Structures are given as C-alpha cells and as structure tokens.
Structure 1
Amino acid sequence: MTETTTATARAMPRARRRKGVPASAPGMRAAIYVRLSRETEETTSPERQRAACEALCEARGWTVVMVEDDIDVSGFSRGLERPGLQRILSRLPELDVVVFFKIDRLARSTVDFAEIMRITEAQGVALASATEPLDLTSSMGRAMAKVIAVFAELESDTIGMRVSSAHEHLRREGRYTGGRVPYGYRVVPNPDGAGKVLEVNPEEARTVHGIVERILAKDSLMTVAADLTKAGVPSPGHSSRQTTGKRSDSKKWYTTTLRSLLTNPQLLGQVIEDGKPILRTDGLPLVSRTPILDMDTWQALQDELTRRANPGDRRREGTSLLRGVAHCALCGFRMYTFVARGRVRYRCIGRLKKRQGGEQIDCYGVSIAGEAMEDHVEAQFLKAFGRLAVVRMVEQAGEDFRPQIRQAREALADLEADRYDRGLFKGEEGANRFAAQYAKLEERIASLEDKQRHAKPAGVTAVPTGLTHAQQWKAADTAGKRDLLLNAGTYVEVSPAKKGGRRLDTSRLAVHFGMDGQIRRADAEGRDVEEAIREQVQREAADADW
C-alpha cells in the first residue's frame, strides 16, 4: 500500500539549488522509496526501511513530500517497470532528493541503477542511501556513482554476449529464440523437447511458390504485389498472422516487401543471425528447418531479381515491346519510341549519338509506326514459336570448395597461434586437445582438396514451364513478352520508307529469329558474337529436348 505525507509538493514551484549550495543543505524536498520482494523478509521490512529513510531526512533537515513503495515486486525481473518507482520518476521536477534504504532496494542491477542515476541527475535530483556510506548528494558519492556506471556498462555488454551466445546455441539446435518469424513459417512447440521451433506454414509456403512462379514467368514485382493485395493475401507484416514474433501492422504488399521476402535465405531453411547465415564448422550455412525453396529454384530466382536490378537490363512495366529488338538497317543502332500526334513511333537515334561523340554517319534517323510494327512482329513470332513449349534455363552453380579450404587453413593458423604465440593448450591435457583439433583440421583440408579436384563444373539446365509460347505470351505483360522475343533470338531490321502511306509497308521489316537473330544483335551491339552463338546453341538444344 502506498502512503503519502500530508505535506504536498504538487503546487510548489521547482526550487533549483543555487550554484555552490550542496544537495545536503536543509530544506530540500525528499521522496522515500521502499521495495520488498516478499512480505516474509523480516530484516528489511517496509516499516524498518521507511523508518531509516525518515531518520536520515530528519537528520539532514529534508522535508518528506512523498513516500512510495513496491511490495512483492522483484527489482531484478521488473527492472524499472515498478509502479511505485515510476510514480517517483514522474514527479522528479517536484523533488530534490530520492532516499532509499539500500542500493539493492532501489535496483538489483547496476545497469538499472545507472539508468536511474542518469534520469535523476538530468532533473537535478540527488540519490541517497539511508544505511550505506554511498551518498550521491556529495561530490565523493557522485564520483563513486560514475565508477558504478562504468561497471554497469561492462555488465550490460557481458550480458549481451551471454544472451547472443545462448541464442546462437539454440538456433544451431533448430530452436526458435523469438523476434520476427520468417514468412512461410510458424511457431510450434518443440516436438523433441523444451522450447519452440519453426515449421513450414503450408498456406504461406503456397503463396511463396506462387510468387516465385510468377516472377520466373517474367511478371513484374509491381503486378504481383498489386494482385496479392487485391486478393487479400496476408503480407509478411499483416496483423492477422498468428505468430509470437513482432510484426508491423502493414496489410499491403509492396515491391520492397516482395524483394525482401524473395532474397531472404531463410527460404532455404538457413538460420540467420545479425543479418548473416550462421555457418557450420565446414563453412556452409546451417540449415536447421525444412526449406521452402530448393537450391535450383532459389538460384534461378536470384538471377532473375539481379537481372531486373541491373540498370542496363531492367524491364519496366509499360516499356516498349521492341526496345532492344528493333534496330536500324542503315546504322545498326537500337530504335527507341517517341510520341507524335498521339501515336507511338520507333526511330533510330544513331546519328544523334554519333554526333555527341564527334562522329558523323549517313543515317538520317529512320522512323516507323510503333503499333503496326509490333503487331507484325507478334504475328511472325507466334507463327514460328506459338506451339513450342517454353523452357526456363536454370544456371547450375558449379562446385567450388576453395572458400572452405581457405577457411579451414585460417582456422589451422589460428590454432597454431593459440598454442605457440598465445601460450594456450598448456599441460598434457592441453597438448592432447591441440593435437586432436590439429589432426581434424588437416583431415578436413585434405578432404576438401580432394573434392576440389573432382568438383562438378557449372552448367545450364532446361526446366519446362508447362506452357507454350502462345500461352505465356497471352499471360505476360509487356516486359515478359519482350523477354520471350529476346530469348527466341528475335532481331528486327527496319529499313527507310520507300513511299508514304497510312498502312505499314512490311517490306521495310526483316524479322530474324534463333541463331541468325542472336548473331545480328550481338554484332550490332558490339558484343562477343561467339558467346552469343554458344548461348543460342544451349537454348536451342534445350528446346529440342522438350
């Protein structure tokens, strides 16, 4: 129960001490704080604490204006979140000193004590213990308090290291340690013991797979995000998700949400700490839960997202269909769109580019009606490829054990430094432990070097999409259609107009596909023609297999 003296300070103005007047001077306003974890403690009963504090105030000539207590309240587990203490801290402008029986009654942690000292000192309020020589109303007491603050910081750092180490240990065992729950997973009791673990959330996993399929099918992030929001699919920040982790109240999908989700290696079942995967002793990421995506799909997804993030290859929704496909027959430069009289046209700007570089060419800037040319190229493309199946080329990462070999060699060097430079592994037992660890690392290095000699090289694998070119063309947006054209090696040469007219003169257009188109584009853009040929050979071989 909280008691308050009849003398109230609520209406009194703040009496700031004049410079040079000590806090121990008579007439200062004091608040007494009493705390007891259990009522059964007789040696520090609330009555005794209060009596000692009142005796100190009387001896110093201080006026007691409030008394607050926290009974059956732990100072360690509750920290500063104690009702009585909070009431005192809320009225600091009306006080000059806070009196307590012993420091452990005010705070059981030096971190909490340092925080209380910081708050009161900022308000010009002193702290005083009724039974200890530590008196923060004196210069010596404040100096000692600063030493306590240093140790408080050390204790805080030590606690942080212990907590971090404990969390990493639990994560390595596959346990959930709190915080944000990765999308696609949910928190469940640990079936193998204490604590909780993460398991795949079937509904969210289906959402992830659907998103990945659409991204690999060239749908834009903006379109996918808009469709998910419209369909009411809970986003990673949706408040309706039943998890114990902290979440925002966002109920919409954004392109940043999608990119953050799709680049999170936790989809592979990896365990993340401080933004990085926890590594096993062999240097590989620790996988302690069921993956949502397999490695091949993950790599294809990252390649697609990287391609879109590249300014030179970014596919913006609503961009022109034949950008990068249509080239001028006179100079070989790409043709770009512009609007004339409300209609989209393509034109060559090669002459302008050359002029900017101080060169001159004969091209005068060929132009052509955009919609009519796009319709013609679409018809030619679907005629040639419409019935053929679409395959996705997945680049298979080759095996490379060199980073693991380097990591093992560094661990071996550190082990040698521990024994010979730092003087660790002393005595017979230490020598045995050193020899065992050294032998284990040497064995691992030898094993990795043997794997490196027989490492599987990188390659490209064709994965069927289950759709024909015509089906995917119908479902794709402008960027997706353009990707289909480019993957088919489409190259369009636009010649100068021979005569005027409203209708498109198709004789101006030379449409090339496959190897012929790839070679022409590589040559026009100054790229390695042989590399373009190799890429097209792989693509056509994959198409033939399916």
Structure 2
Amino acid sequence: MTARMPRRTAVLYCRISRAKDESVSLVRQERALRELAEAEGWDVLEVIHDDGLSGTRDRANASRALEMLRSGAANVLAVWAFDRWSRQGLRAVADLLDVLGTKPGALFVARDKNLRSDDPLFQVWASILASIAEMEVGHTRARVQAARAEHLSRTAPEEQRFLGGVPPFGYRAVPNPHGAGRALSVDEYEAHVIRSAAQRLVDGEYLASVTRWLDAEEVPTPQSPARRARQAGRPTAGLDRGSWRMTTVRNLWRSETLLGRTTRRETLLNEHGGALLDAKGKPRTARRLVVDDAGLPITRWAPVLDADTFARLKARLPDTGRVQPRRMASWLSDIAFCQGCGRKLYVQNRKRARGTDRSFRCNGRVDALDPCTAAATINVGRLEAYIEDLFLSYGGHFPEMIREEHLDAPDAALELQDIEHATQDVLRAFRADGADYVTLSARLETLKARKRHLESLPATVRIIERPTGRSLADVWRDLDGDLAARRDHVRQVVQRIYVGRVGAENWHRPLDGERVHIVWNPDREIDPYGEGLVAPPVPSTGRGV
C-alpha cells in the first residue's frame, strides 16, 4: 500500500501600494491565492497583508512570511505577483533563494505568471523580474520627482496645491479654495508661537532660552503625535508633544517656509554638470528653494512672518557655528581687562585648603613674546560686589531701553538677497558642461536689471530706542542667576573695567577707583567722581586696548 504524501502548508502574502479599491485589491489577491491553494491541496496556515507601504522599504510582514518558510512552519509561500513580493531588486531574490536552497521541500509560487521555484528556470526568471522591478522603482521615482518639480514651478493661485506630507510648522493643510486637492493655510496657534519666539530672539534672547521656553509652554514639535492630533481637531491629552532642540529651533526659525515659500530636495551637481557624489558613491542632495524662471523664490502661501522680522532673525541666527555662547564664569566676563597690558581677564579656579579660589587673572604673565609686567589678579566675588554696588548707585535709576532696528523697505531688501542667491546659481550653471549660455545670459540680465531697480529705491535702517517703564535696578534684580543677561545689562552703562595690580601688602585693601577703573558709557552721561568722563588708562606695555 502506497503511503500518502502529507499535505503542504501555505502562507499567503498579499500586498498593494495603497489602501484603495484597485484592479488587484487585497481582497481579490487573497481570493485568487485561496483558489490556488484549494486546487493544489495546500492547507492555508495564515494570510498576511501589507497595505499602503512602499515597495522599497523593508516590510516586517514580508520578512515574517519568509521566516515561516525558513523555519518550516510553512512549506509554501504564495504571492499574487513577484513584484508584489518585493521591488528591492536582486537582494530580495538572494534572500528568497537562500531560504529555498536550505529547505529542499519549500516552494515559492507567484500566481499571475505561474512562476514556481520548482521550475528549473525559476532562478533565471526571478533575477530578471527583480532587475526589471528595481528599474521600474527608479523610473517611478524620477517621474514623481519631475511631476513635483513641474507643479511647484507653477505660480497661478489656482494651481498651488499642497503635495502632501507633514505641513510646515506654522501651517495646516486645508481644502484647496481654488479647486481639487489641499492647500496650506496659516495655523494661528503655531503662527503666534513663531512670532513670539522670533521677537524674543530679535530682542537678544539666547537660542537655548527660547528652546526652554517652547518646552515650558508645551508647544508640540513639528513631527509630534500631539501636533497631528491638534491640527486634526482631536484631543491631545496624553499624547507625546516631543522635545525641542536648539538645532531644530535654529533651522525652523531660519526657514524660508515662514515667508510662504517652498523647498524641494535637489541633487547637487559638480563643475561638469554631473551628480556630486558622497564618500559612499551616492548622489549628494540638498534642500533648495523653489524658484521661477528668473531664479527668484516663488511665494506659494501666506507668510507667517514679515520680511523685516525674518531678515533680523537671519542675522541673529547664523547658518552654522555657535549661537549659544559658552557657559560663563562671571557676568563681568568680556568686560574686565588688565590695566597693565590691556588684555582681557579670564576666570581661573584654584583649589585651596579652604575651598576653590575663583579669580580674574591676566594671561599676559605667561606670554614669553610679550609678557605683561603688571599682570592683574582679583577675586571674582570681590570685583562683582564692587561693580554691582557702583552700577546700582550711579546707573540703577536710569530707565531700561530697548533698541530696535527697523528697515524702511524690508521687502526690497529681502528681494535683493534673493537676487544675489539667484545670481550665484546662474554663475555656477555657466561653468557646467553643456550649459545653455543664451538662456543663462538672458536670466542674468533680468536679475541685474531688477537689482539695479531695487538699489535705486531708498532703503535705510532706522534705530529706535524706547523705554520699557522699568529702571535698570528693577531689571537687575529680575536677572538674578542669568549671567549672560546681567552682563548685557551692565553694558548699557559700563563699557569696560580695568583692574590694576597691587602688591601683597595691599591685597585685602578695599577696592577703589585707583585699583578698579570703570569706563562708563558716554551716552548715559555718568560722572561718579565729578571729574568728567575720563579715557581708559594707557597699558604699560604699549599693547592696544
């Protein structure tokens, strides 16, 4: 009597790119695969769906289906079509063939073309189909990028649709008032946050302080679940609001999206017009503003910030480099100088039996090429107490003033900046191989003509100082513990402090105007000694002050 062969066990894998009713939906795929399993006599252990995921991403469900074949939990893996299994190319084929090679009884079937792993030509056909799928992914990506670029270059209001993704901070996606699709509208809650933070930064507040303020106000970060829920009108209680970082704040408040502009990722080109490659041989990309035919940025949405505030923000927040100063040792740092040589005094800590001694010291004493012959040293606490007393005595009654810069023609100034960037882009394009010199020359002449016109317009910066209603003494008390803010505050009435050297016999003598010389701000008209404002002392070594 012949023994009956055990029935095969199968896992069915169904996948579509988006969850919508299409020609080969998940339902139709599963029905066709179940019919195949019944015809082949397979027992279906599990049906696995992947719904709405990109074909170039690792799919956990696909990996689980392959793992069932590898472990022996199933000995058949059936899919509707081979490209539904994966479009990741030959790497995906290698993984599949590795499993099939280690499990002689395992079977892979692609239903639509009846592609089976027990066919002698399976490996050849699978490799060919994987290569075709991989190329199709590249072609699809190129088509999508070209379509996005073409759409973003349109300037008519009725054609300015939002192409999807996470709305830029300060905006929300709304139904397009000019037609189909979505558009961006100013999110008033986020716009208020942006304007408040911008004013803080423009007024001189440090980036770290503004970052802490955003966290303290529990403002949801751009990618946080709480933000998505709030913009969708859902409750945000218990949802993650994210944590603000200084880098995020700097990049966001420098972003031209706050002016209603759009960026897109572009491949960087080398001097020959080819793609600029990174260390791994992949094309380097960067986010660039979407511009019109003349190379000037296109404004697509209502701005969140005005041009004047944005220009001042850009000046306040450099693109690279340190924004937040290093941790300060004293609020007299960068104000205290050595009377002997004019060098800046630095705080140095020295451990002693009674504790740590913190003193301002002149480094000129160890300068072999230009030594300071009267290097000053003074205890930090003593100097701070002395200057604080003088500052409050002679300048505490002065009103606190806010200095504001106003640009009479901010829009023109911003456009001049845009023209400068566009001109640089055109000049770089001239150097590329195969450059269209006629088109580029015409674009350059257009930019130059517009620049001449804008430069002929009157555009001046007005400096306005206005009192806040508080005295400097009131502000001083409020700034207790904020060293950087106290230093900036003292600078309103003190330009520099020069500390002289004393012998050991006079080390503990009370400080006076001879040991500590203060150069007051002439705008405040302070004359504590009744002698008129005096010039700073001349350094004994001849070094410049």
Q: Are residue 404 (structure 1) and residue 422 (structure 2) matched?
A: yes
In the TM superposition, 1:118-267 aligns within 5 A as: 119-124=95-100, 125-128=106-109, 134-138=115-119, 140-172=121-153, 173-241=159-227, 242-243=230-231, 249-267=240-258
Identity of aligned residues (%): 23
Give 1:344 deviation, angstroms. 7.3
Structure 1 residues 523 and 198: alpha-carbon distance in aligned structure 2, compared to 1, 3 A threshold: farther
Aligned to 2:446: 447
Matches within 5 A, 1:407-422: 407-408=425-426
Q: Which amino acid is the alignment partner of residue 276 of structure 1?
A: R
Contact preservation (8 Å) 2:400, 2:467 = no
In 1, the alpha carbon distance for the partners of 2:478 and 2:136 equals 60
Partner deviation per Cα, 1:117-152 (whole Å, 9 max, x = no partner): 455334235424578575433553202211211111
Q: Deviations over 1:429-464 (max 9, x none)?
A: xxxxxxxxx5x7655433322344455399754255
Larger mean Cα displacement after TM superposition, 204-213 or 128-137: 128-137
TM-score of the aligned structures, taking structure 2 as reference length: 0.67
SS in 2 for 1:306: coil
Shift of 1:156: 0.8
Residue 270 of structure 2: aligned partner: none
Alignment match of 1:278 (pick from 290, 295, 301): 290
SS of corresponding position for 2:318: helix
Deviation of the 1:391 alpha carbon:
1.0
| C-alpha contact 1:317 1:478 (8 A) present in aligned 2 | no
- Which structure 1 residue ranges, 5 or more long, are not aligned? 9-28, 55-63, 420-437, 530-546
TM-aligned CA distance change 1:407 to 1:211, over 3 Å: closer
Contact 1:187 1:244 in 2 (8 A): no
Residue of structure 2 in register with 1:349 after alignment: 362
Residue in structure 2 matched with residue 328 of structure 1 by the alignment: 338
**d(CA) in 2 for partners of 1:84 and 1:345?**
63
Partner of 1:462: 463
Change (3 A) 1:150 1:519: farther
What one-letter code is carried by the residue in structure 1 that aligns with 2:511? L
Superposed displacement of residue 253, structure 1: 3.6
1:520–1:163: structure 2 CA closer, same or farther, 3 Å change rule?
A: farther
Task: Tell me the CA shift for residue 494 of structure 1.
Answer: 1.7
Hey, what does 1:16 align to over in structure 2? Answer: none
Residue 489 of structure 1 and its aligned partner are, at CA, apart by 6.7
Q: Is the 8 A contact 2:226 2:241 kept in 1?
A: no
Q: Are residues 509 and 321 of structure 1, via their aligned partners in 2, closer, same or farther at CA, if it must alter by over 3 Å? A: same
SS of 1:287's partner is coil
Residues 84-95 of structure 1 aligned to structure 2 (within 5 Å): 88-89=65-66, 91-92=68-69, 93-94=71-72
Shift of 1:367: 1.7
The one-letter code of the counterpart of 1:348 is R
Relative to total residues, which structure has the larger helix share, 1 or 2? 1
Give distance in 2, aligned partners of 1:496 and 1:84. 76
Residue 76 of structure 2 is aligned to residue 98 of structure 1: yes
Alignment of 1:415-430 (within 5 A): none
Tell me which amino acid in the other structure corresponds to 2:180: A
Contact 1:222 1:255 in 2 (8 A): yes
Change (3 A) 1:367 1:108: closer
Per the TM alignment, residue 406 of structure 1 is displaced from its structure 2 partner at its CA by 5.2
Q: Please list, as runs of the form range in 1=range in 2, the aligned pairs for 1:486-505 lying within 5 A after superposition.
A: 486=491, 490-497=495-502, 499-501=506-508, 503-505=510-512
Q: Which amino acid aligns with 1:191?
A: P
CA 1:475–1:53 in structure 2 vs 1: closer, same or farther (change >3 Å)?
same
Shift of 1:474: 5.5
**TM-score, normalised to structure 1's length?**
0.67
Match of 1:481 in 2: 486
Any idea what SS the aligned residue of 1:160 has? helix
8 Å CA contact retained: 2:81, 2:113? no
* Structure of greater Rg: 1
**What's the Cα RMSD here?**
5.1
Give the AA of the match of 1:94.
G
Work out whether residues 262 and 299 of structure 2, in 8 Å CA contact, stay in contact via their aligned partners in 1: yes
**Alpha carbons 2:81, 2:111 under 8 Å: kept:** no
Identify if the C-alpha distance between structure 1 residues 520 and 111 changes in structure 2 by more than 3 Å, giving closer, same or farther. farther
